[in-house]
Amino acid sequence: MIKRLFFFTVVFAVLAFSMPACKINYGFTGANLSAAVKTYTVYYFPNRARLINPTLSQSFTEDLREKLRRQTSLNELSENGDIEFEGQITGYEVRPMSIQKDDMAAKNRLTITIKLKYTNSKSPDDNFDRNFTAYEDYDSNLSISDVEDELSTLIIQKLTDDIFNATIANW
């Protein structure tokens, strides 16, 4: 009985290691790119929104670069990377939400929209142009200038997560 068990174990091991390997991409960061992709480029995202936050373009661009630096093993190039991120900030809006009695807003919402062009030179089927939008609500008793920095930081984090998931993680 032990010889038979040993024989089947050896046969199973030989078959398992001699079969053609299937490629499975996985990682703790969620990156799911072709092994041919080695570099990325993030171009500056100018602010084309009607309302302008003077630090938003720089903050968004740098945060996207930092996310790619931290969560991938790709090398950054100033231009012509294997994958490229370019676009613009097209929306920066504050709107009333949660209307109460007497038509007063209990909450306001800051919304930021990014128009992204994603180019993957190694896998052109993955290329796309798409808008990404994220928002945060805040108490209407506060002015936007009181909460703008904190809310912008939270919204940029959501946007970079969404962009990472749509491009690198292919979700």
Task: Provide the pLDDT confidence category of residue 104 given band limits of 50, 70 and 90.
Answer: confident
Q: Rounded to whole angstroms, how far apart are CA atoms 11 and 13?
A: 5
pLDDT, tens digit, 9 for 90 and up, residues 80-90 = 999 999 999 99
Percent of the chain clearing pLDDT 90 (strictly above): 71
Helices (H), the chain: 2-18, 56-71, 144-167
- Residue 73: the pLDDT is 94
Q: Please say whether the beta carbons of 108 and 140 come within 8 A.
A: yes
Task: Provide the pLDDT confidence category of residue 99 given band limits of 50, 70 and 90.
Answer: confident
124 residue type, one letter: P
Residue range 17-22: average pLDDT?
46
- Residue 6: the pLDDT is 52
- Residue 100: the pLDDT is 72
- Residue 21: the pLDDT is 43
Q: Please say whether the beta carbons of 43 and 84 come within 8 A.
A: yes
99 residue type, one letter: I
Q: Please say whether the beta carbons of 83 and 68 come within 8 A.
A: no
| pLDDT value at 25 more than 50 | no
Q: How far is CA 149 from CA 25, 42, 143, 156, in A?
A: 37, 23, 12, 11
- Residue 41: the pLDDT is 98
Per the model's pLDDT, the better-predicted residue between 37 and 106 turns out to be: 37
- Residue 146: the pLDDT is 95
Per the model's pLDDT, the better-predicted residue between 111 and 3 turns out to be: 111
Q: Please say whether the beta carbons of 43 and 88 come within 8 A.
A: no
- Residue 19: the pLDDT is 47
Enclosing H/E stretch for 79: none
Task: Provide the pLDDT confidence category of residue 158 given band limits of 50, 70 and 90.
Answer: very high
- Residue 4: the pLDDT is 58
Q: Please say whether the beta carbons of 41 and 81 come within 8 A.
A: yes
Per the model's pLDDT, the better-predicted residue between 31 and 75 turns out to be: 75
